Structure 1
Amino acid sequence: MYIGDYLARRELYSPDKLAFIDAGKSPEWRLTFRDANRRANKLANWLKSQGVEKGDRVAILARDGYEHLDLFFACSKLGAIHTALNWRSHWRELLEIFNYTNPKILIFSDDFKEGVSQLTAHYPLPTIHLDGNGIDGSLPFESTLQSAPDSAVTCPSLEAEDTAALIFTGGTTGLPKAAEVSHRMIAWNTLNTVIHDVTHNDVYLNVFPMFHTGGLFVYTLPQVIFGGTTILIRAFDPAQVLNLLEREKVTIFAAVPTMYQMLTTAPNWDSVNLSALRFCTSGGAPLPVPLVEKYTAEKNIRFKQGFGMTEFGPGIFALAPEDAIRKAGSIGRPNFFVDAQIVDEQNQFLGPNEAGELVLKGQSYSSGYFNNPEATKAAVDERGYFHTGDVAQYDDEGYFYIVDRKKDMFISGGENVYPAEIEKALYQHPAVHMCAVIGLPDAKWGEVGKACVVLKPNQSTTEEELLKFMTERLAKYKVPKSVSFMEALPISAAGKILKRELREQWIVNSE
Structure 2
Amino acid sequence: MLKNKCYVFAENAKVPTHMHFGQYILDKMMEHRDTVALIDADTGESLTYGELAQKTVDTALSLTRMGVRKGDVVSICSEKRFELLSTTLGIFCAGATYSPSDITYGTGPILHRVKITKPKIMFCSPTAFGLHKESFDTVGCIDQYIVYGDEDKPGGISFKNFLTEHADVKDFLSVPVEGWKDYVLILFSSGTTGLPKGIPLTHLGLMNSTMSFVNDSLKGERSLSTREWYNAYGLGFALGALRAGATLVYSARNGHEDCLAAIEKYKINFLQLAPASVVELIKSSVLDDYDVSSVEGIMSASTPLAAEQVRAVKGRFPNLRDVYQLYGLTEAGSVCNEHLAPNGPRDGSVGTPGYGFTIKVLDLETRRPVGPNERGEICFKSPSVTPGYLSVSNDDFFDEEGFYKSGDVGYYDEDRYFYIVDRIKELIKYKDTGIAPAELESILMQHPSVREVGVVGAPNVDCGEAPTAFVALLPGREATEEELVAFLEARVTFRMKLAGGVRFVEKLPRGSGEKLDRKALKIML
The match for 2:262 among 240, 244, 247 is 244
Structure 2 residue 75 is matched with structure 1 residue 55? no
Q: What residue in structure 2 maps to residue 128 of structure 1? A: 146
Residues 264 and 468 of structure 1, relative CA distance in 2, 3 Å threshold: closer
**Offset of 1:61 from its aligned partner?**
1.5
Contact 1:467 1:480 in 2 (8 A): no
Say whether the 8 Å CA contact 2:114–2:139 is kept in structure 1: no
2:196 to 156, 163, 176: 176
Look up the match of 2:103. 87
Quote the sequence identity (%). Answer: 27
Partner secondary structure for residue 115 of structure 2:
helix
Correspondence list, 1:147-186, <5 A: 147-150=164-167, 154-161=173-180, 162-186=182-206
Letter in 2 for 1:121: T
Q: Secondary structure at the match of 1:180?
A: strand
Name the structure 1 match of 2:485.
467
* Deviation digits for residues 398-417 of structure 1 (CA, Å, limit 9, x no counterpart): 33221211232232343322
1:368 to 381, 388, 392: 388
Structure 1 residues 386, 15: closer, same or farther in 2, change over 3 A? same
CA drift of 1:150 comes to 4.0
| Structure-to-structure mapping, 1:368-447, within 5 angstroms | 368-372=388-392, 374-375=393-394, 377-447=395-465
Distance in 2 separating the partners of 1:286 and 1:263: 16
Of 73, 80, 87, which aligns to 1:64? 80
Counterparts in 2 of 1:11 and 1:427: CA distance versus 1, 3 Å: closer
Answer yes or no: is the 8 Å Cα contact 2:25–2:242 preserved in 1: yes
Match for residue 207 of structure 1?
226
Which of 97, 115, 134 is the matching residue for 1:117?
Answer: 134
Deviation at 1:455, TM superposition (A): 2.8
Distance 1:214 1:432 in 2: 25
C-alpha displacement of 1:436: 1.1
Distance verdict in 2 for CA 1:450–1:83, change over 3 Å: same
Deviations 1:451-482 (CA, angstroms, capped at 9, x unpaired): 11223455433212222222233333453420
Q: Which of 325, 329, 335 is the matching residue for 1:305? A: 325
Matching of residue 502 in structure 1 with residue 502 in structure 2? no
Residue deviations 1:200-250, cap 9 Å, x none?
222221111111111111x32222222222122214122221222232222
One-letter identity of the residue aligned with 2:32: S
Q: Which amino acid aligns with 2:135?
A: Q
In the superposition, the TM-score normalised over structure 2's length comes to: 0.86
2:137 corresponds to which letter in structure 1? T
Q: Structure 2: how far apart are the matches of 1:293 and 1:432?
A: 17
Moved more, 54-63 or 402-411: 402-411
3-state SS of 2:132 partner: helix
Q: Which moved more, 1:262-271 or 1:296-305?
A: 262-271
Does the CA-based 8 Å contact 1:18-1:30 persist in structure 2?
Answer: yes
Which of 469, 479, 499 matches 1:451? 469
Q: How much does 1:499 deviate?
A: 2.6
Unpaired segments of 5 or more residues in structure 1? 507-511
Taking a change above 3 Å as real, the CA distance of residues 134 and 413 of structure 1, as seen in their structure-2 partners, is farther
* Counterpart selection for 2:300 from 282, 286, 301: 282
Q: Residues 171 and 74 (structure 1 numbering): CA distance in 2 closer, same or farther, change over 3 Å?
A: same
Does the 8 A contact of 2:205 with 2:383 survive in 1? yes
> Is 1:342 equivalent to 2:361 in the alignment?
yes
Query: How much has 1:306 moved relative to structure 2?
Result: 1.8
Aligned counterpart in structure 2 of residue 351 of structure 1, from 371, 382, 406: 371
Cα pair 2:208 2:355 within 8 Å, conserved: no
User: Aligned equivalents of 2:348 and 2:282: distance in 1?
Assistant: 20
Q: Which amino acid aligns with 1:110?
A: P
Alpha-carbon distance in 1 for matches of 2:294, 2:81: 24
Alignment-derived partner of residue 488 in structure 1:
507
Residues 61 and 84, structure 1, Cα contact 8 Å, conserved in 2: yes
How much has 1:390 moved relative to structure 2? 0.4
Q: 1:15 matched to which residue of 2?
A: 33
- Native 8 Å contact 1:63 1:87 kept in 2: yes
Residues 82 and 166 of structure 1 are in contact (CA less than 8 Å); yes or no, is this contact kept in structure 2?
A: yes
Kindly provide the amino acid, as one letter, of the partner of residue 259 in structure 1. Answer: S
Letter of the aligned partner of 2:299 in structure 1? T
Q: Which has the higher mean CA deviation after the structures are superposed, 301-310 or 469-478?
A: 469-478
* Cα deviation, residue 315, structure 1: 4.7
C-alpha deviation, 1:74, in angstroms: 0.7
Query: Which structure is richer in relative contact order (CA contacts within 8 A, separation 6 or more)?
Result: 2
1:334-390 per-position Cα deviation (integer Å, ceiling 9, x unaligned) = 235432221024431012332210011233323333455x32x54322223211110
Alpha-carbon distance between aligned partners in 2 of 1:261 and 1:200, rounded to the nearest angstrom: 27
C-alpha deviation, 1:103, in angstroms: 0.8
Q: Tell me, what secondary structure is at the counterpart of 2:194?
A: coil
The aligned amino acid for 1:214 is Y
Equivalent of residue 77 in structure 1, options 93, 108, 113: 93
- Give 1:124 deviation, angstroms: 5.0
Contact 2:190–2:512 (Cα < 8 Å) also in 1: no
Separation in structure 2 between the aligned mates of residue 297 and residue 70 of structure 1, nearest angstrom? 38
Q: What SS does the aligned partner of 2:372 have?
A: coil
- In the TM superposition, residue 135 of structure 1 has moved relative to its aligned partner by 6.2
* Mean Cα deviation higher: 145-154 or 431-440: 145-154
Distance 1:343 1:104, change over 3 A: same
Higher mean C-alpha deviation, range 86-95 or range 131-140:
131-140
Query: Do the aligned residues in 1 keep the contact of 2:283 with 2:448 (CA within 8 Å)?
Result: no
Whether contact under 8 Å (1:208, 1:493) holds in the other structure is: no
Residues 1:221 and 2:239 aligned together: yes
CA distance in 1, matches of 2:152, 2:254: 24
CA–CA distance in 1 between the matches of 2:40 and 2:198?
27
Supply the AA of the counterpart residue of 2:466: V
> 1: distance between equivalents of 2:476 and 2:114?
47
What is the distance in 2 between the residues matched to 1:365 and 1:38?
31
Structure 1 vs Structure 2 CA RMSD:
2.8
Residue 336 (structure 2) aligns with = 316
Matches of 2:89 and 2:343, distance apart in 1? 37
For the Cα contact (< 8 Å) 1:64–1:235, is it kept in 2?
no
Matched position secondary structure for 2:287? coil
Structure 2 regions of 5+ residues with no counterpart? 1-15
C-alpha distance in structure 2 between counterparts of 1:42 and 1:416, whole Å: 55
Q: What's the CA shift for 1:5?
A: 2.0
Question: What's the CA shift for 1:56?
Answer: 0.7
State the alpha-carbon separation in 1 of the partners of residues 495 and 436 from structure 2.
13
2:86 match: secondary structure: helix
Q: Which moved more, 1:223-232 or 1:122-131?
A: 122-131
**Within 5 Å, which residues of 2 pair with 1:22-41?**
22-24=40-42, 27-41=43-57
